[in-house]
């Protein structure tokens, strides 16, 4: 009641309030502004990669400042060790420095390309950590590399095509692939989250990647 009185009193005092339509228009404009800002950020990252491919050290430094926090998080999720994640992250940017020319903005966004690169580098570090004497159960915690997400990604003609093919997958496979390859979740984490055996999770993701590749090849 007090809230109503307050609004009515303000109205009688000549204070204006935006109508519902005005709020809707404002919300729509905010959404457009956020989209434009996101597109600008993606374009800037792509440009930094292009400059890094030309051996521009300042571009690599700017790229590190903008992306290292997210990529470190991906490495940390896979490795579970801050020191090892830092080492993997350093290797990621060494790879970027040497292979930035392989990035194609028409196939994927810069952040997607970097995220997949970080995850693959972290998996390499995780595999290198394993000794031959470790059990098969321990080895199962290393994600399956039989069908690389980077291989699938490089088959995409453009980012729109990749998104379309991801949306063609059933929801479970699409979600697991996004979590595993773009967010850095490990197979054991996903299996625990979904309360299924590890081999089942690996099978879900492997089949999803096969369907994704099939869609991209059409």
If you average pLDDT over residues 108-134, what whole number do you get?
77
Q: What is the tens place of the pLDDT at every residue in 9-25?
A: 444 444 444 455 555 55
Same structural domain, 120 and 60: yes
Same structural domain, 103 and 168: no
Answer yes or no: is pLDDT of 212 > 60: yes
User: Domain total for the chain?
Assistant: 2
**Residues of the domain holding 99:** 41-128
Question: DSSP letters along the chain, please?
Answer: -HHHHHHHHHHHTT-----HHHHHHHHHHHHHHHHHHHHHHHHHHHHHHHHHHTT-HHHHHHHHHHHHHHHHHHHHHHH--HHHHHHHHHHHHHHHHHHGGG--TTTS-HHHHHHHHHHHHHHHHHHHH--TTS-HHHHTTSPP-SS-HHHHHHH-SSHHHHHHHHHHS-HHHHHHHIIIIIS---HHHHHHHHT--HHHHHHHHHHHHHHHHHHHH-
Same structural domain, 123 and 45: yes
Specify if 192 maps to a domain: yes
- Determine whether 54 is exposed, middle or buried from the number of CB atoms within 10 Å of its CB (0-12, 13-18, 19+): exposed
**Per-residue confidence at 94, pLDDT binned at 50, 70, 90?**
very high
126 vs 151 pLDDT, higher one = 126
**Per-residue confidence at 90, pLDDT binned at 50, 70, 90?**
very high
CATH code, domain carrying 206: 1.10.10.10
Q: What is the tens place of the pLDDT at every residue in 189-202?
A: 888 889 999 889 88
Same structural domain, 212 and 171: yes
Same structural domain, 154 and 216: yes
The pLDDT assigned to 95 comes to: 94
The pLDDT assigned to 153 comes to: 55
Same structural domain, 110 and 176: no
Give the pTM. 0.57
The pLDDT assigned to 15 comes to: 47
Instruction: Select the highest-mean-pLDDT range: 3-7, 49-53, 200-204.
Output: 49-53
Same structural domain, 55 and 123: yes
CATH code, domain carrying 101: 1.10.1740.10
Same structural domain, 155 and 114: no
The pLDDT assigned to 152 comes to: 55
Specify if 9 maps to a domain: no
Specify if 135 maps to a domain: no
Answer yes or no: is pLDDT of 84 > 60: yes
Specify if 155 maps to a domain: yes
Same structural domain, 47 and 114: yes
185 vs 157 pLDDT, higher one = 185
């Amino acid at each position: 009641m007090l809230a109503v009185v307050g609004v009515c009193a303000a109205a009688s005092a000549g204070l204006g309030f935006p109508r519902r339509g005005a709020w809707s228009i404002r919300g729509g404009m905010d959404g457009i502004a956020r989209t434009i800002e996101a597109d600008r950020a993606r374009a800037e990252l792509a440009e930094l990669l292009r400059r890094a491919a030309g051996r521009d050290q300042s571009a690599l430094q700017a790229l590190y400042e903008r992306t290292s926090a997210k990529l470190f998080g991906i490495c940390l999720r896979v490795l579970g060790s801050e020191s090892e994640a830092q080492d993997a992250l350093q290797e990621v940017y060494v790879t970027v420095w040497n292979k930035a020319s392989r990035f194609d903005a028409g196939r994927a966004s810069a952040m997607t390309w970097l995220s997949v690169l970080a995850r693959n580098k972290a998996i390499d570090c995780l595999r290198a950590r394993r000794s031959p004497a470790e059990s098969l159960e321990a080895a199962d915690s290393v994600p399956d590399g039989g069908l690389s997400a980077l291989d699938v990604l490089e088959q995409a003609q453009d980012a729109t095509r990749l998104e379309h093919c991801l949306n063609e997958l059933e929801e479970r496979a699409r979600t697991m692939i996004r979590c595993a390859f773009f967010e850095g979740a490990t197979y054991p984490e996903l299996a625990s989250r979904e309360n299924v055996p590890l081999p089942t999770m690996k099978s879900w993701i492997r089949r999803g990647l096969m369907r994704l590749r099939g869609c991209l090849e059409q």
